[in-house]
Amino acid sequence: DADVTQTPRNRITKTGKRIMLECSQTKGHDRMYWYRQDPGLGLRLIYYSFDVKDINKGEISDGYSVSRQAQAKFSLSLESAIPNQTALYFCATSSTGPYNEQFFGPGTRLTVL
């Protein structure tokens, strides 16, 4: 079984709808991240969490919110989806301490019509 899983893998929704993307990990890591990737571009950090009670904004947090329900679960919400939020979304985890490698999930492809 994959160490970092994301659900759903693909989602098509309409403008104005609320959407939740979920991430679960079995690696026992404290740190979790949400990234967004647009076509032809690198990943941009949306939010990150160093433990259950620690949530931080990343580079592009506007229009998104997150919830860290447990050490193993980190959800990303779009309260009112808009077309320019169409992108590939990745969740990642890492262990505590600097400079440790991040492990990425398979991604969720979100299309907002």
Least CB distance to another protein at residue 82 (A): 23
Give the footprint of another protein on residues 20-59 (CB under 8 A): 31, 33, 35, 40-45, 48, 58-59
Using the minimum distance from each CB to another protein, give the nearer residue, 47 or 85: 47
Contacts of 73 (CB under 8 A, 6+ apart): 22, 23, 24
Q: How far apart are CA 15 and CA 47, in angstroms?
A: 22
Is position 98 an interface residue for another protein (rule: CB under 8 A)?
Answer: yes
Three-state DSSP state, 106: coil
Q: How far apart are CA 47 and CA 36, in angstroms?
A: 10
Taking alpha carbons only, the member of 49, 20, 46, 41 closest to residue 108 is 20
From candidates 25, 105, 110, 112, binder to another protein by CB under 8 A: 105
Using the minimum distance from each CB to another protein, give the nearer residue, 8 or 16: 8
Is position 83 an interface residue for another protein (rule: CB under 8 A)?
Answer: no
Structure tokens at 113: 């019509």
Query: Are the CB atoms for 105 and 92 separated by under 8 Å?
Result: yes
From candidates 8, 16, 83, 106, binder to another protein by CB under 8 A: 106
Q: What residues line the site for another protein (CB under 8 A)?
A: 4, 31, 33, 35, 40-45, 48, 58-59, 90, 92, 94, 97-107
